[in-house]
């Protein structure tokens, strides 16, 4: 009988998550009830937001409970189905957790289109919550206009690299902020960013002033903290700051102070707005169609960083916080069906 | 020959402005050139924003230069006119500075309606930049809906007291934050606020949690700093934070850190937006008509704190920062014509 291997939350992390904050379980695979499905996870997406779900605090979702299977988005294959709309072998995506198998109700699943323009392994790099975050965050909240300057932080990350390319597709000057020269080169040489700032090597406010000679119209923020302060120092009138993430804060034991120059919002009549991709799921097809077309045309590039084996998930999660991942970070749990 | 008495900026203040940051000048009153007017200031408005103009930094306007007449909004009477549209004795408002007399071009002036529903002394408490700031800031940027909860800081101040009352007129639960029990009583007993928090006596976040049982939908911020952080801790999904002022920061020698909980903007998909009343001057009549009607109906109350004599302006400016003013602070320079 197959075993379901799981990572469960064992303790609330203080600072960076440690492997001991998780516990490994193996239990028999459950049988689907009436109307349910049994799915087998193939790829697990690791995202900075995962860290927020591990605190005891309700965010936009309830936190992971101690002893619960760790939350995560996955791509899965239907193993057995007791619902007429799903057949074994179909590929789905859902919020199915850090485990090999899951029982799911059909309304918690999205069927992947049978003709995906990318390999399954690449799905989370362009589509799913990552693609929708970039697409709706930039276009709906940031509202860039042609000729404007867009700055994006964590620009070599999964969301950031799409945001910058979407900015170029919409006629913006695009400047990315990333944490290594290699990442910065990738942004400018491969993705078409106009400039990139290595925040580990140069003072960000000065570097942005130099690379944004006409000021910043849209700042897509994935990091918060000092880099947010640096970007705020260079905004134009009517600038829009898209609050997508605050990765610099997620592992803070004491919440660090905010930017000292929020008064710039006032002086520049600027808008700072948060958003949660969950709110956009009813409009998913709009993003998927647009992103799919650009990928097919070769106008949207990405990198995928695949780590093999569910066992590696706790260690790999920290790649997101020390900057070791190169591209969208996914755990491969099993070989997709041919 | 009449003398024009003036306060000029002598030095950039460090911390609270001191009288020695200004210098007193007396010079002959100038003659208007062709197309110009000579006006005599009757009332000078003192506002927290004045402090920002005294720094060397461009804000939404160029700063006051060292040696220049201090900037300020006034109500004035036309003394002599070399422009056909203006006659001696007419009452105007403009950005005419801390002085008895000014030369002005017609396009820098607004004629006051001849039938004002309030005495001239009260004009800046309801109309002008104060009324427009409250009206457009709350309604255009904050967009309160009936049944929502509105919190306003510096609530006993000129703008704050109007904002709260406008919130009540739009069907909101309104909670004010002010700095004395007397001010809090005025808000609840006289202005109809549902609750008031004395930030000098109680922890603001806890007091807001108690007085906003359904959370905060709109926070109209006049102060920034710790009170902004307290308000952010209680926001609802889709909350709007109107950044109108940051009085807690204006006299800071080193900019203080911002709120530690900006991540709440993300979790709650909230919007924080600055605005500058200058941007709304083309829509002034909309605000004046609405505010005038409410004042005439007795549905909008205010207090005016009149200080006699231009000499007092530097000392009186600090009333705004130590909380000593009770209502809209104006300097009376001369008796209005009968």
Q: Tell me, yes or no, whether B274 and B159 share the same domain.
A: yes
* pLDDT average, residue stretch A161-176: 98
Q: Do the domain assignments include residue A214?
A: yes
Q: Tell me, yes or no, whether A265 and A323 share the same domain.
A: no
Task: List the single residue in B with minimal CA-CA distance to A245.
Answer: B266
Q: Do the domain assignments include residue B294?
A: no
Q: Please tell me the total count of domains within chain A.
A: 2
pLDDT tens digit string along B30-83? 999 999 999 999 999 999 999 999 998 888 899 999 999 999 999 999 999 999
pLDDT tens digit string along B262-308? 999 999 999 999 999 999 988 999 999 999 999 999 999 999 999 99
Q: Tell me, yes or no, whether B314 and B226 share the same domain.
A: no
Q: Tell me, yes or no, whether A133 and A108 share the same domain.
A: no
Q: What is the pLDDT of residue B1?
A: 65
User: Which residues of chain B does A137 touch, with a Cβ-Cβ cutoff of 8 Å?
Assistant: none
Structure tokens belonging to residue A62: 């309830």
Q: Do B224 and A261 touch (CB under 8 A)?
A: no
Q: What is the pLDDT of residue A197?
A: 98
Q: Do A272 and B271 touch (CB under 8 A)?
A: yes
User: Which of B246, B266, B278 best probes binding to A when mutated, by most A CB atoms within 10 angstroms?
Assistant: B266
Q: Tell me, yes or no, whether A97 and A134 share the same domain.
A: no
DSSP letter at B59 equals S
Task: Please state at what angle helix A128-136 crosses helix A284-296, rounded to 10 degrees.
Answer: 100
**Confidence check: pLDDT of B29 > 80:** yes
pLDDT tens digit string along B213-257? 999 999 999 999 999 999 999 999 999 999 999 988 888 888 888
Q: Tell me, yes or no, whether B70 and B134 share the same domain.
A: no
Q: Do the domain assignments include residue A290?
A: no
Q: Do the domain assignments include residue B226?
A: yes
Spatial separation of the C-alpha atoms in residues B168 and B151, rounded to whole Å? 11
Q: Do the domain assignments include residue B107?
A: yes
Q: Enumerate the H helices of chain B as residue ranges.
A: 49-53, 123-126, 128-136, 158-169, 181-185, 204-211, 225-232, 263-267, 284-296, 313-317, 319-322
Spatial separation of the C-alpha atoms in residues B285 and B113, rounded to whole Å? 11
pLDDT tens digit string along B188-201? 999 999 999 999 99
Task: List the single residue in A with minimal CA-CA distance to B245.
Answer: A266
Spatial separation of the C-alpha atoms in residues A266 and A228, rounded to whole Å? 16
pLDDT tens digit string along B150-205? 999 999 999 999 999 999 999 999 999 999 999 999 999 999 999 999 999 999 99
- pTM of the shown model: 0.94
User: Which residues of chain A does B244 touch, with a Cβ-Cβ cutoff of 8 Å?
Assistant: 266
Q: Tell me, yes or no, whether A161 and A104 share the same domain.
A: no
**Confidence check: pLDDT of A1 > 70:** no
Domain that holds residue A143: 128-278
Q: Do B267 and A224 touch (CB under 8 A)?
A: no
Contact residues for B215 (Cβ-Cβ < 8 A; gap 6+): B149, B234, B235, B236, B239
Q: What CATH number did the domain enclosing A143 receive?
A: 3.40.50.720
Q: Do the domain assignments include residue B23?
A: yes
User: Which residues of chain B does A238 touch, with a Cβ-Cβ cutoff of 8 Å?
Assistant: none
Q: Tell me, yes or no, whether A107 and A133 share the same domain.
A: no
Q: Do the domain assignments include residue A296?
A: no
Domain boundary among A263, A278, A293: A278
Q: Tell me, yes or no, whether B321 and B272 share the same domain.
A: no
* pLDDT average, residue stretch A123-146: 97
Structure tokens belonging to residue A171: 């006629």
Residues 248-307 of A with CB under 8 A from B: 249, 255-276, 279
Q: Tell me, yes or no, whether B136 and B90 share the same domain.
A: no
Contact residues for B201 (Cβ-Cβ < 8 A; gap 6+): B181
Spatial separation of the C-alpha atoms in residues A166 and A137, rounded to whole Å? 11
**Confidence check: pLDDT of B86 > 90:** yes
Q: What CATH number did the domain enclosing B70 receive?
A: 3.90.180.10
Of the candidates A185, A175, A178, the one whose C-alpha atom is nearest the C-alpha of residue A211 is A175
Of the ranges A241-255, B172-186, B317-331, which one carries the lowest mean pLDDT score?
A241-255
Q: Tell me, yes or no, whether B99 and B230 share the same domain.
A: no
Specify the DSSP element, H or E, that contains B7.
strand B3-9
Q: Do B273 and A274 touch (CB under 8 A)?
A: no
Q: What are the two backbone dihedrals, phi and then psi, of residue B326, each rounded to the nearest 5 degrees? A: -120, 95
Tell me the sheet residues that pair with A78.
A39
User: Which residues of chain A does B276 touch, with a Cβ-Cβ cutoff of 8 Å?
Assistant: 266-267, 269
A61 touches chain B (CB under 8 A): no
Q: What is the pLDDT of residue A145?
A: 98
Strand order from edge to edge, sheet including A271-274:
A195-198, A173-178, A149-153, A216-221, A235-243, A271-274, B271-274, B235-243, B216-221, B149-152, B173-178, B195-198
Q: Tell me, yes or no, whether B11 and B77 share the same domain.
A: yes
Q: How many CA atoms lie within 13 A of A221 on its CB side?
A: 32
Q: Do the domain assignments include residue B122?
A: no
């Amino acid at each position: 009988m197959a075993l379901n291997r799981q990572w469960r939350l064992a303790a609330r992390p203080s600072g960076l998550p440690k492997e001991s904050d998780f516990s490994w379980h193996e239990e028999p695979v459950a049988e689907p009830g009436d109307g349910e499905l049994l799915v087998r996870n193939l790829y697990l997406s690791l995202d900075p937001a995962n860290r927020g779900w591990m605190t005891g605090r309700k965010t936009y979702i309830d936190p992971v409970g101690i002893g619960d299977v760790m939350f995560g988005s996955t791509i899965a294959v239907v193993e057995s189905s007791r619902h007429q709309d799903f057949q074994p072998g179909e590929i789905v995506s859902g919020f199915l957790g850090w485990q090999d198998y899951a029982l799911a109700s059909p309304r918690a699943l999205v069927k992947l289109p049978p003709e995906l323009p990318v390999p399954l392994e690449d799905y989370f790099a362009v589509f799913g919550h990552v693609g929708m975050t970039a697409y709706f965050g930039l276009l709906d909240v940031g509202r860039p206009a042609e000729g404007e300057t867009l700055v994006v932080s964590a620009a070599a990350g999964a969301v950031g690299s799409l945001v910058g390319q979407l900015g170029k597709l919409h006629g913006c000057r695009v400047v990315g902020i990333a944490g290594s020269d290699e990442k910065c080169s990738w942004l400018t040489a491969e993705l078409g960013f106009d400039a990139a700032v290595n925040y580990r090597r140069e003072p960000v406010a000065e570097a942005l002033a130099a690379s944004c000679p006409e000021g910043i119209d849209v700042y897509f923020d994935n990091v918060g903290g000092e880099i947010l302060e640096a970007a705020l120092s260079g905004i134009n009138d009517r600038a829009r700051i898209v609050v997508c993430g605050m990765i610099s804060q997620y592992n803070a034991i004491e919440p660090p102070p905010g930017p000292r120059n929020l008064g710039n919002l006032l002086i520049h009549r600027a808008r700072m707005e948060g958003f949660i991709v969950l709110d956009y799921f009813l409009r998913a097809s709009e993003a998927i169609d647009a992103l799919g077309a650009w990928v097919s045309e070769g106008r949207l590039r990405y990198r995928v960083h695949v780590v093999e084996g569910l066992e590696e998930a706790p260690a790999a999660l920290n790649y997101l916080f020390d900057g070791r991942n190169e591209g969208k970070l996914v755990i491969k749990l099993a070989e997709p069906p041919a």
